[in-house]
Amino acid sequence: MSASPFQFYRTFVPMLRGLNDPVVLSFDNTTFAKAYASDPTIHPHHFIHSGNFFSSPYSKNPELRTKERVLLLQEQLVNDQTDGLMTLNVPVNGDFKTPYWKHAKADRLKALETSLEAALWAKKNAQRPDLLYAGFEVGTFRDARYIFERALNAGLTKLSAGFGLFSRLAKFRSEDRVKQFEVLAAYNQLLSEFGDVRFHASGGSSLNALELLAYANVTSADGSSAVIAGLAYGSVLTASGRLVRADKLGEWTCNCEFCSSKNPLDVLNELKRSPEARVRHNVHMVRLSEARINDALENNTIAELTQQRLVEYDKQELWRCYAIVSEKLPQE
């Protein structure tokens, strides 16, 4: 497995002063640019996405999300802390309740070819083509193997795929996770042939999947679970990667940067009372996980760390994903 450093970007970006942790932006995120420009001490690394095609206004007005408009607005956000731009990723169609793998092959490949055309157009027209990550919406091993190989042969050495869209639907949640790692297995097959390739996993990056992503040679990922859990669900991350409701806690011990400098009882009361406190704690837990991952990558022990964490998470679905990435490839 690769020793490339692993970087996590926080999505759903409330202003958290003093953190300066890497964030992911949408191409039309002018709010971010204005807010952060007003405070020169907040200057985080960021990855610029091509926007959520499944949400308003783009689900109703797809003409607002063209390859030309996406690149134009992305480049207005680029500065010396920009790590990457995701090119236009095209969904199979407007039916976001039917997983990609259940659509006709011809429809799936048409969407992937359109995404590839957008990436090649951006490579030709971008001011900073070195920042581009070719974006795809792909849901099967064979589709991924096909389109990733075409992209790599065309000189696109940075790839990206959107994940987790169908995890929002309970009946597809488990299968969606497995399909994500089938896609990554296809990417891994190509690494030995194409060498220096980078991969950004957009979405589908809950804390208990980070080690698996790094084990699968993903070099960066983004996700909102740390923020959403603290704000919407009143939950905090534990060292084992589990989410627990803060208002159900009777005691609290944590060695993250946010918690360790305070009295445990004071921290417990703050986590129960303050959504921002929960988010800050959760972000620091992701940082600790990221640090462990990069230490393991540097010391070539990422397989051992991944196995150790999967034992702690105790989810059969994650072990299945591990097996898929470990060259036990899907049969299609």
Rounded Cα distance between 102 and 224, Å, is 26
Torsion (CA) 20, 272, 244, 255 in degrees, nearest 10: 50
H-type alpha helices, 84-172: 105-125, 141-153
> pLDDT of 226-258, one tens digit each?
888 999 899 999 887 788 999 999 999 999 999
Question: Which fold, 7-223+309-325?
Answer: TIM Barrel (3.20.20)
Per the structure block, which two tokens stand in for 332?
Answer: 């299609």
CATH 3.20.20.105 domain position(s) in the chain? 7-223+309-325
Rounded Cα distance between 321 and 317, Å, is 6
> pLDDT of 160-176, one tens digit each?
999 888 777 778 888 88
Give, as one character, the DSSP assignment of residue 202.
E
Q: Among the ranges 31-45, 60-74, 139-153, 161-175, which has the highest mean pLDDT value? A: 139-153
Rounded to the nearest 5 percent, the helix, strand and coil shares of the chain are 50, 15, 35
Rounded Cα distance between 51 and 70, Å, is 8
- Give the predicted TM-score (pTM) of the model: 0.92
Contact predicate 227/11, CB 8 Å: yes
